[in-house]
Amino acid sequence: MAEENLHDSPATALDLHSCTHGQLLALMEELGQPAFRAKQIEDWVWSKGVGDPAQMTNLSKALRDALSERVGAAGASELARQVSEDGSRKYLLGFSDGAAVECVGMPSPRKLSVCVSTQAGCAMGCAFCATGRAGLVRSLTAGEIYEQVMHVRNDFNSRVTSVVFMGQGEPFANYDETLKALRKLNDPDALGIGARHLTVSTCGLIPQILKFANEPEQFTLAVSLHSTIQKTRNVLMPGVRRFSLVHLYAALGEYVNKTGRRPTYEYALIGGVNDTEEEIDSLCDFCRGTLCHVNIIQLNEVSGSPFKPSTPEKAQQFVERLARVGVEATIRNSRGADIDAACGQLRQRVR
């Protein structure tokens, strides 16, 4: 039993995807190795996608063995995958405790975008969201978040150019691990993805939006709006009912003042629910005169849900009406529209 604990304990095993450069340097020192070995190991992990020390062929056999004894990865295994006609690949990854999440790789010429999950399930209960229905299983660790990025990177054997935190779960309900993951992805010693190419999407948790505004990096913020009429939003997004639109508006103003950056508002059009004249007018009022970009998204149908997508004409109408009040809006291209998505939101998000 004691021995089993020793092997399983994350405290004794170093996760190469989670550890800091400093921790790796300390380990090298402990093993009597020169400091540049840390950089070599990071190069294997982040540039070559190799996490198994046994395969790090420019290290001595003795160091490989010593590392193998010390290293334990967060360890995701691929449980299923779906490949879209447009080249997107969606994966279901499982962790050792049985929790499973989806992530997606979306290639385009010279680019590879990855969409990651931050929690297995979600506690927010949005009425139109497949993930929200099942409730929260657990939050992911930072290591488990970029494990997803590395999985996609390795599968495409290509550099990842952007990551969106728009998979399962609410990133700001798992703030610290999300931020750790963002920093690691941004770290030049790890994947080195520019902060502006790292986007976090929140359903609107105000305290965390304000906290995020004070982080030094220029990460991109997306906020799921879906309606700017409180009554409608309460029905669609019951988990954020306590963060009213009035307060959200003020918090976003503060975010913009503080950062000078443009938040993206996500708005999935649901026929007859949030695509009415009253809703368009209200959205225009919410956005007018503010720094923002609106993403109009077609709802992905979730089986058994009463909500149906709106029409492409409505989407066009939203864009035109917003343009009239000086607000930039785009209709998101659907990626992987042919892959059956249990987690419908994964499909349409690449900027």
Cβ nearer to ligand SF4, comparing 107 with 121: 121
The CA distance from 52 to 54, in Å, is 5
Q: Which of 33, 84, 88, 131 touches ligand SF4 by CB under 6 A?
A: 131
Local structure of 200: helix, strand or coil: strand
Q: Are 109 and 120 in contact (CB under 8 A)?
A: no
Stretch that binds ligand SF4, among 36-44, 127-135, 191-199, 303-311 (CB under 6 A): 127-135
Sequence letter at residue 7: H
Closest contact distance (angstroms) between CB of 6 and ligand SAH is 37
- The residue to which tokens 């026929």 are assigned: 271
Q: Are 242 and 125 in contact (CB under 8 A)?
A: no
Query: Does 217 qualify as catalytic in the annotation?
Result: no
Q: In terms of residues, how long is the chain?
A: 351
Residue 105 within binding range of ligand SAH, rule CB under 6 A: no
Q: Which residue is nearest to ligand SAH (CB)?
A: 345
Q: Which of 88, 113, 178, 201 touches ligand SAH by CB under 6 A?
A: 201
Closest contact distance (angstroms) between CB of 264 and ligand SF4 is 14
Paired sense of beta strands 136-139 and 119-121, if any: antiparallel
Closest contact distance (angstroms) between CB of 199 and ligand SF4 is 14
From residue 120 to residue 159, what is the string marking binding to ligand SAH with x (rule CB under 6 A)? Answer: ------x-xx------------------------------
Local structure of 72: helix, strand or coil: coil
Closest contact distance (angstroms) between CB of 37 and ligand SAH is 38
Q: Which of 67, 150, 302, 327 touches ligand SAH by CB under 6 A?
A: 302
Q: Are 21 and 38 in contact (CB under 8 A)?
A: yes
Q: Helical H runs in the chain?
A: 2-8, 21-30, 36-42, 61-70, 130-134, 142-156, 175-186, 206-213, 230-236, 245-259, 277-287, 312-324
Distances (CA, A) of 209 to 28, 84, 122, 280: 38, 34, 18, 25
Closest contact distance (angstroms) between CB of 130 and ligand SF4 is 8
Cβ nearer to ligand SAH, comparing 224 with 282: 224
Query: Does 102 qualify as catalytic in the annotation?
Result: yes
Residues that bind ligand SF4 (CB under 6 A): 122, 124-126, 129, 131-132, 168-170, 203, 224
Residues that bind ligand SAH (CB under 6 A): 126, 128-129, 166, 170, 201-203, 224, 266, 268, 297, 299-300, 302, 344-345
